[in-house]
A and B are shown apart, each in its own frame.
Chain A
Amino acid sequence: MLSTLVAKRAPWAGLKTSQCVTIVRCMGEVSRKDFDNFEATRPLAPNEEFVPSSAPIPQSLEQKVQHWKYANEVFFGPDRDLKNFPHPVYNTKPTETYQLGFIPTRWFKHLYPHTGVSGPYTLAIGTTIFLLSKEYLTMDQLTAKLLLGYFSFFYIFTQTKAGKTIKDKIDATAKEYDEKAYHEPLRNAKSAYLSEINDIKTEIERKDVIPAIFQAKQEQIDLQLEVLYRKRLREAFIDVKKRLDYEADMEAAKRQFEQDHMVNWIVSSVQKAITPQQEKQAIQSCIQTLKSLSATAAI
């Protein structure tokens, strides 16, 4: 019921995937090698490599959730009578106990009010003895084998130590097989899924940090932009300063040159204008002033 609800696999889907070659092989002359060659060389259907032939039709997660919800609603709804119709259980041990190795104790309990404790045993063994004595069941090869086999089996497995060891060995083998085929894969799958869940959790935690990281990066980029802006401002400032300095230097040099030139020109022209007579007069006047100074000067 559950599987039909959840899997949504059409009953004839198996026929689609079954190949004609398998049928032909059953009929005769196709060898395993031919089949393998065919399997290796045949063109694949779209996405066949991802979908094994035994897998159900792939569904989306939403569809699956919807189906599970519907199944839950049906099997655990308000109308469900869990008292009279409990869920089916897969027992680990048989619910029945057995008498004489194979007859259910339930039958003996049903017969107990009529026959007592020994009645069913008497019925079973007495009937066999009656059939043998009247030779409705003749003691031939098969009957002897059957009875001897049964009694030896029963005796070995219930009365002797060997039977117990055999039982223990079988139990141990079964347990080993169970461990190998059921528990170990289950444990592996569980650990794998748990690790996957942990990975996903860490990813989710990382997701929470993403806005902070984004902001930090944004701030960093803003800082970088600021740095660049200031660098360019400085560059512009330096360049403008350079140009202005150049202009100022040029102006200063020009003026210096002009000044020098003017001074030189004036001095040279003045020097040119001075005659030797003027020079003599100037020296004479100088000597006279020195004389007058020396007369008046007191040490």
Chain B
Amino acid sequence: MENAVDRPHIRGYRFPGPFNPYPEGYKPRVHGPYDPSRYYGKTPKVSLWDVKLGSLLETVLSADYRKRNLLQTVSRFFARYHARHWRVKNRTFAPLLQVIFVGHLFYFVGNANWDPENTGSRTCTARYKYH
């Protein structure tokens, strides 16, 4: 029997058009329940931790920067992050601290004054000139 479950990625079959939630390459009979933190493509993705420092720039520059891939990568990252840190029964304070720190990081970087004349908002409180 041919069913939508066997071919979920085919357009207009069960989830028409852009409403198909499953990426290409996902086969329920092989992969089981859909895991949003996994990549189901043919060539497995390489973690940045496994990339040599010398070839890091090359890897980053030659990456796929198409909109679809970017969205899918970010989606997978957040699913993985949630599965690892947030989606547990007895949670720790660590993920909360992470969010606080990353938020402050964005805030500091966003409000940093890159102007060499140093007339910006936050760095105007700097007290030392010569170091």
B5 touches A5 (CB 8 A): yes
Contacts of B93 in A (CB 8 A): 101-102, 153, 157
A102 touches B28 (CB 8 A): no
State whether A1 and B34 are in contact (beta carbons under 8 Å apart), knowing that A79-B29, A101-B94, A101-B97 are contacts in the complex.
yes
Contacts of A93 in B (CB 8 A): 88-90
B30 touches A79 (CB 8 A): yes
Report B12-38 CB contacts with A as 1/0, cut-off 8 Å.
000000000000000111111111001
Q: Closest residue to B98 on the A side, CB-wise?
A: A102
A85 touches B32 (CB 8 A): yes
- For this complex, 19 residue pairs linking A to B, each with C-beta atoms less than 8 Å apart, are A1-B34, A74-B5, A75-B28, A92-B90, A93-B89, A93-B90, A94-B90, A95-B84, A102-B93, A102-B101, A133-B131, A134-B131, A135-B126, A135-B127, A135-B128, A136-B112, A138-B123, A153-B97, A171-B90
Interface residues on B, range: 35 or more
Q: Which of A1, A81, A94 contacts B84 (CB 8 A)?
A: A94
B122 within 8 A of A: yes
State whether A98 and B32 are in contact (beta carbons under 8 Å apart), knowing that A134-B131, A138-B122 are contacts in the complex.
no
Q: Which of A90, A140, A146 contacts B122 (CB 8 A)?
A: A140
Contacts of B94 in A (CB 8 A): 94, 96, 98, 101-102
State whether A75 and B32 are in contact (beta carbons under 8 Å apart), knowing that A96-B84, A98-B92, A146-B104 are contacts in the complex.
yes
Q: Which of A80, A136, A171 contacts B32 (CB 8 A)?
A: A80
A174 touches B33 (CB 8 A): no
Q: Which residues of A come within 8 Å of B, CB atoms?
A: 1-2, 5, 70, 74-75, 77, 79-82, 85-88, 90-96, 98, 101-102, 104, 107, 110, 133-138, 140, 142, 146, 150, 153, 157, 171, 174
Least CB distance from B26 to A in Å reads 9
Least CB distance from B129 to A in Å reads 9
Q: Closest residue to A157 on the B side, CB-wise?
A: B93
Please provide the chain B residues from 53 to 97 with a CB less than 8 Å away from any CB of chain A in the complex. Answer: 84-85, 87-95, 97
Q: Which residues of B come within 8 Å of A, CB atoms?
A: 5, 27-35, 38, 49, 84-85, 87-95, 97-98, 101, 104, 108, 112, 122-123, 125-128, 131
Contacts of B29 in A (CB 8 A): 74, 77, 79-80
Q: Which of A88, A104, A138 contacts B126 (CB 8 A)?
A: A138
B33 touches A88 (CB 8 A): yes
Least CB distance from B21 to A in Å reads 9
**Cα of A75 to Cα of B122 in the assembled complex, Å:** 56
Q: Closest residue to A92 on the B side, CB-wise?
A: B89
**Cα of A137 to Cα of B123 in the assembled complex, Å:** 8
Least CB distance from A13 to B in Å reads 15
7 residue pairs, one from A and one from B, having the closest CB atoms:
A102-B97, A92-B89, A135-B126, A98-B94, A79-B29, A110-B49, A102-B94
Contacts of A138 in B (CB 8 A): 122-123, 125-126
Contacts of B101 in A (CB 8 A): 102, 150
B91 touches A87 (CB 8 A): no
State whether A85 and B30 are in contact (beta carbons under 8 Å apart), knowing that A133-B131, A138-B125, A150-B97 are contacts in the complex.
yes
Contacts of A85 in B (CB 8 A): 30-32, 35, 38
Contacts of A70 in B (CB 8 A): 5
Contacts of A110 in B (CB 8 A): 49
